[in-house]
A and B are shown apart, each in its own frame.
Chain A
Amino acid sequence: MKAKITITISIACTALILTMIMFTQFKTVDETDITALETMRETELRTELASWKEKYEDVESKIEETNAKIDEYKKELDNDANTAELLQNEIKEAESYLGYNSLQGQGVIITLKNTELRDIDYSDILALVNELNAAGAEAISINDERVISITDIITVKYISILVNTKRIQAPYIIKAIGDKKYLESALNIKGGYIDLKKSEEKSVECVVDDNIIIPAYEDKR
């Protein structure tokens, strides 16, 4: 009888343990999310890791490609900016040649005055401008009228003088920017312009200046 009780108790205990473990396992299997990272087995994790690595490398190569493209575009942009700057400079240069910009620099100031004996003729101014141009003047103005390629220096019935179709009055102050020594010597040379005019008893004065401002051509037709 005693032996039977021990057998019963021990078998009941084993049955208890077995069912307990089984139900725990059922519950575990039931409730565990196999796809969750925490519950994955090592091999599964490894394959997952490998696939992610591959993806990462893919994305990285794509990033590199995109970066290279961006660099290319940037370079192109820089080139464009350079070209634009170059063009801008060219435009400025062309404008200063055309007289659309005011200029500042060393040069000479020639003052022609009417005297009691002789009046200044338009041809005197024309000759002076011609002389200055020959001497390498970069910019010339007559009474602050800029002399450009289409500037006209004419007279109306030898009474008034027109420059850029605007009437100018004595005294005529002609400014020229350029190498001041060169300009001065070109004018003051023996038998040169000033000599000639003085021999015609006309009043000519030449002053060298380091800071001459010549205005821009105003009438942009």
Chain B
Amino acid sequence: MIYIGIILGCVIGAIIGSMAPVIPYTYSSYLSIAIVAALDTVFGGIASVIKKNFDLKIFLSGFFGNSILSIALTYLGEKLNVDIYLAAIVVFVGRMFMNLGIIRRYYIDKWVTMIEKRKNKKVKEEVKE
């Protein structure tokens, strides 16, 4: 059911997004940093599901809070003439890789155990024969 919701949301979002008007190029840098922050939160959420400590409140607050905060920091950086958005990208992308690593390890583990189980089954069947 969750997967259906995710797919439905993605499809509707893609349709709305491709119909939306073009944003001025100046603001597109803010939007891109918000996207990176949101993606980071999504991967974090998946990782937390795997770790079995997923909390919807934390996920939602992270999703919106990180996006808005990164936009605010980028704006501040522009005002201070410091490229703060670079720091934000480094942090978010680094965390993304970390979470992706967790997810990867989890699925590789799952895969390996599955293969081993099959092998054991075969061995057992051979023993029976």
Chain A residues with CB under 8 Å of chain B are 4, 6-29, 31-32, 34, 38-41
Contact = CB atoms under 8 A, between A and B. Distances in A.
Interface residues of B, number: 33
Given A7-B2, A7-B56, A8-B2, A16 B9 contact: yes
A11 B55 CA distance: 12
Nearest to B4: A8
Contacts of B17: 19-24, 26-27
A161 B9 CA distance: 133
B104 to A, nearest CB: 21
Contacts of A12: 5-6, 8-9
Contact of A16 (B10, B24, B45): B10
Interface of B: 1-2, 4-6, 8-10, 12-14, 16-18, 20, 22-26, 28, 31-32, 34-35, 38-39, 42, 45, 56, 59-60, 63
Contacts, number: 104
B20 A23 contact: yes
A15 B9 contact: yes
24 contacts: A7-B2, A8-B2, A8-B4, A10-B56, A10-B60, A11-B6, A12-B5, A12-B9, A13-B9, A14-B59, A15-B6, A15-B42, A16-B16, A17-B13, A19-B14, A19-B17, A20-B13, A20-B16, A21-B35, A22-B35, A25-B23, A38-B25, A39-B26, A41-B26
Contact of A27 (B4, B18, B45): B18
